[in-house]
C-alpha cells in the first residue's frame, strides 16, 4: 500500500521551490495510492489536485481544502460521491471511469454552489435510464455534464416527469447495490480460497516450469471476470507480485571494477563508453591534442577529466576512457574544452620540456679507515693571509709596457726614467714640480 508522504509532495512541488504550505497545484497521479490523507493539513492553499489513476476507494480528508477549484479522481475505485461539502470553491470534478453506482449520492454536490463541470462517464450509474435527466435536475448550478453543455431547454425538459425519472433511477440503484453485494461476497470467498492455497503454491513454486507459469499467466488474463474494484485490485496485486519476482530473479551482481593500472604499474588503454577519438600532435604549440567524441546532448556535469604526465583519463557517466600518451605532458598547463555544437571534448596537453629519466648508478664505496694524513688534512683549519698596507709602493707605470733602450737624446732618456715614490725625478736638485705642466708620458 502506497501512502501520501511529505517527501512525495515536496518532490512534486519543485515549481514552488519545494514549499508545500503555499502550494496551489500538485499532481499525484499513477502512484498506486489507496487513501487520501494529509493534504488538507499540509496544503491548505491547493487549487488544483490531480489524483487520477490510483487505487483510491473513498473521497475523504478533503473538506479543509476551501480554495480547491479542480479535483481529478478519474480511474480510481470510488463508489460513492461524498465529503466534498467543505470544498467551497470547487468548480470542476472529474470522476471518469470509477465504480459509482449510487447515483443518488450526486445530490451531496448541491452544497458546492460554484460547481460548473462534472464528469461521470464510465461509471455504472451512467448506464441508468434517466441518468442525465436526474443529474441535471439535481444540480441546478451545473453547466456541463460529461463534456456536453446543459442548455436551458434541456433543463426545462428535465423538470417534466421528474418524479417518474427518480423512481426509475432508485429501482436501478437498488438492483445495482444487490449485485454489488453478491460480487463482494464472491470476492471474499475467492480471497479466502487463495489464502488457503498459498502454502501449496509456495511448495510447488520450485517445481513449476516456465511453461506452467506461462499457462497460468494466460489463464489469469483470459478468464472473464466482472469489472469491479476487487478485480482491479487483484490485477494490480498480480502485476506487483510478478514485478517483485522478476526483480528477485534478476538480482544484479556488482561488476568488478575495471583495471586501469596493473600491479606492476603499467597503464592500460580503456574505452568503456566506446567513443570515437583522435590523438594528434600540434607541432606549432608543442602539445598533444586528444579529441573525444562525447555524446552531443549529454550534460557536462557527467564528465570528469584527469590528466597525468603519462596518460589522460575521462569519466563519461561513470564509464572510463583512458589513453596512454606517446610523450610526457604537463598536467598543470593542460586545458579541457567542449564544443557547443558537436559536444566533442578537446584536451590540449603541452609537452614537458625535458623528461626525467631515472638511471641506476653503482653505489660509492664507503671508506672504513683513513690514513693519519687524511684525517689531519680533514681537520686542518684554513688560514687567512693578511696584507700590510704600509708595504705598498707606487705603481710603476713605465714598467707595464717595456721600452727599448735608445740614445737619441736627453728627452728620450728622461721619458724612460722611472718616477720615484714622491712622483718626481730626484736626480736634479734644481727641479721644481709645476702643477700646471702636464706630466710626461
SS (H, E, C) the chain: CECCCHHHHHHCCHHHCCCCCCCCEEECCCCCECCCCCHHHHCCCCCEEECCCCCCCCCCCCCCCCCCCEEECCCCCCCCCCCCCCCCCCCEEECCCCCCCCHHHHHHHHHCCCCCEEECCCCHHHHCCCHHHHHHHHCCCCCEECCEECCHHHHHHHCCCHHHHHHHHHHHHHHHHHHHHHHHHHHHHHHHHHHHCHHHHHHHCCCCCHHHHHHHHHHHHHCCCCCCHHHHHHHHHHHHHHHHHHHHHCCCCCCCCCCCECCCCCECCEECCCCCEEEEEECCCCEEEEEECCCCCCCHHHEEEEECCCEEEEEECCEEEEEECCCCECHHHCEEEECCCCCCEEEEEEECCCCCCCCCCCCCCCCCCCCHHHHHHHHCCCCCCCCCHHHCCCCCHHHCCCCCCCCCCHHHHHHHCCCCCCCCCCCCCCCCCCCCCCCCC
Average pLDDT score, the chain: 81
Are 152 and 46 part of one and the same domain? Answer: yes
Task: Give percent of the chain with pLDDT exceeding 70.
Answer: 76
pLDDT, tens only, 106-149: 999 999 999 999 999 999 999 999 999 999 999 999 999 999 99
With a cut of 80, say whether residue 13 has pLDDT above it.
yes
Of the two residues 211 and 441, the one the predictor is more confident about is 211
In a domain, 261, yes or no: no
Are 162 and 304 in a shared domain? no
Domain boundaries, position 275: 270-350
Single residue among 328, 350, 372 that ends a domain in this structure: 350
Q: Indicate the pairing of strand 335-338 with strand 319-324.
A: unpaired
Specify the CATH number for the domain of residue 99.
3.80.10.10
pLDDT score for 420: 47
Residues 281 and 165 in one domain: no
Q: What total number of domains does the chain contain? A: 2
- Asked if the structure places residue 435 within a domain, the reply is no
Residue with cell 441535471: 136
Q: For the domain that residue 276 is a member of, what is the CATH number?
A: 2.60.40.790
**pLDDT tens, position by position, 219-235:** 777 777 777 888 888 88
| Paired sense of beta strands 277-282 and 270-271, if any | unpaired
Q: Answer yes or no: is 27 within a domain.
A: yes
Q: Would residue 387 count as lying in a domain?
A: no
Residue 397 has pLDDT above 60, yes or no: no
Residue 149 and residue 278 in one domain: no
Domain termination site, one of 294, 328, 350 = 350
Q: Please state, in angstroms and as integers, the Cα–Cα distance from residue 170 to each residue in 130, 375, 398, following that order.
A: 11, 128, 149
Do 51 and 160 sit in the same domain of this protein? yes
Q: Give the whole-number percent of the chain exceeding pLDDT 90.
A: 44
Report yes or no on 425 lying in a domain: no
Q: Please say whether the beta carbons of 228 and 99 come within 8 A.
A: yes
Question: CA end-to-end span of the chain, whole Å?
Answer: 122
Statement to judge: residues 16 and 135 lie in one domain = yes
Looking at the predicted structure, is the pLDDT value of residue 387 above 90?
Answer: no
pTM above 0.75?
no
* Residue 262 located in a structural domain: no
Residue 365 lies in a domain: no
Considering the domain architecture, whether residues 39 and 161 belong to the same structural domain is answered as yes
Judge whether 141 lies within some domain: yes
The residue from 143, 172, 201 where one domain ends is 172
Pair (155, 26) in one structural domain: yes
Closest CA to 338 of 347, 325, 329: 347
pLDDT tens digit sequence for 20-76: 889 999 999 988 899 999 998 999 999 999 999 999 999 999 999 999 999 999 999
Amino acid at each position: 500500500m502506497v501512502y501520501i508522504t511529505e517527501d512525495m509532495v515536496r518532490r512534486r512541488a519543485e515549481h514552488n521551490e519545494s514549499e508545500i504550505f503555499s502550494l496551489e497545484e500538485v499532481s499525484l497521479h499513477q502512484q498506486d495510492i489507496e487513501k487520501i490523507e494529509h493534504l488538507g493539513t499540509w496544503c491548505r492553499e491547493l487549487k488544483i489536485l490531480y489524483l487520477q489513476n490510483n487505487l483510491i476507494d473513498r473521497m475523504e480528508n478533503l473538506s479543509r481544502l476551501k480554495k480547491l477549484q479542480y479535483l481529478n479522481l478519474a480511474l480510481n475505485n470510488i463508489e460513492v460521491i461524498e465529503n466534498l461539502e467543505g470544498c467551497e470553491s470547487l468548480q470542476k470534478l472529474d470522476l471518469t471511469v470509477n465504480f459509482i453506482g449510487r447515483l443518488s449520492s450526486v445530490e451531496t454536490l448541491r452544497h458546492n454552489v460554484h460547481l460548473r463541470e462534472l464528469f461521470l462517464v464510465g461509471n455504472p450509474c451512467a448506464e441508468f435510464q434517466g441518468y442525465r435527466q436526474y443529474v441535471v435536475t439535481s444540480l441546478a448550478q451545473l453547466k456541463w455534464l460529461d463534456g456536453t453543455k446543459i442548455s436551458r431547454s434541456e433543463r426545462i425538459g428535465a423538470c417534466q416527469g421528474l418524479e417518474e425519472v427518480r423512481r426509475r433511477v432508485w429501482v436501478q440503484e437498488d438492483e445495482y447495490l444487490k449485485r454489488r453485494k453478491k460480487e463482494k461476497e464472491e470476492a471474499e470467498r475467492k480471497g479466502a480460497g487463495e489464502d488457503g492455497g498459498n502454502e501449496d503454491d509456495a511448495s510447488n513454486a520450485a517445481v513449476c516450469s516456465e511453461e506452467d507459469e506461462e499457462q497460468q499467466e494466460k489463464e489469469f488474463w483470459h478468464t472473464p471476470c466482472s469489472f469491479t474494484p476487487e478485480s482491479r485490485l487483484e490485477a494490480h496485486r498480480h502485476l506487483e507480485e510478478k514485478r517483485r519476482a522478476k526483480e528477485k530473479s534478476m538480482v544484479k551482481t556488482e561488476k568488478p571494477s575495471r583495471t586501469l593500472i596493473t600491479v606492476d604499474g603499467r597503464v592500460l588503454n580503456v574505452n568503456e563508453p566506446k567513443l570515437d577519438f583522435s590523438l594528434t600532435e600540434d607541432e606549432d604549440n608543442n602539445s598533444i591534442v586528444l579529441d573525444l567524441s562525447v555524446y552531443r546532448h549529454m550534460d557536462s556535469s557527467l564528465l570528469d577529466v584527469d590528466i597525468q604526465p603519462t596518460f589522460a583519463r575521462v569519466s563519461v557517466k561513470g564509464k572510463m576512457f583512458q589513453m596512454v600518451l606517446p610523450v610526457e605532458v604537463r598536467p598543470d598547463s593542460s586545458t579541457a574544452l567542449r564544443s557547443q555544437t558537436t559536444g566533442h571534448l578537446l584536451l590540449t596537453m603541452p609537452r614537458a620540456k625535458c623528461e626525467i629519466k631515472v638511471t641506476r648508478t653503482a653505489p660509492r664505496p664507503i671508506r672504513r679507515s683513513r690514513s693519519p694524513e687524511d684525517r689531519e688534512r680533514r681537520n686542518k683549519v684554513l688560514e687567512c693571509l693578511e696584507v700590510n698596507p704600509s708595504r705598498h709602493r707606487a705603481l710603476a707605470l713605465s714598467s707595464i709596457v717595456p721600452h727599448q733602450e735608445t740614445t737619441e737624446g736627453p728627452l728620450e732618456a728622461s721619458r724612460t726614467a722611472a718616477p720615484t715614490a714622491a712622483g718626481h725625478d730626484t736626480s736634479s736638485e734644481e727641479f721644481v714640480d709645476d702643477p700646471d705642466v702636464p706630466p710626461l708620458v
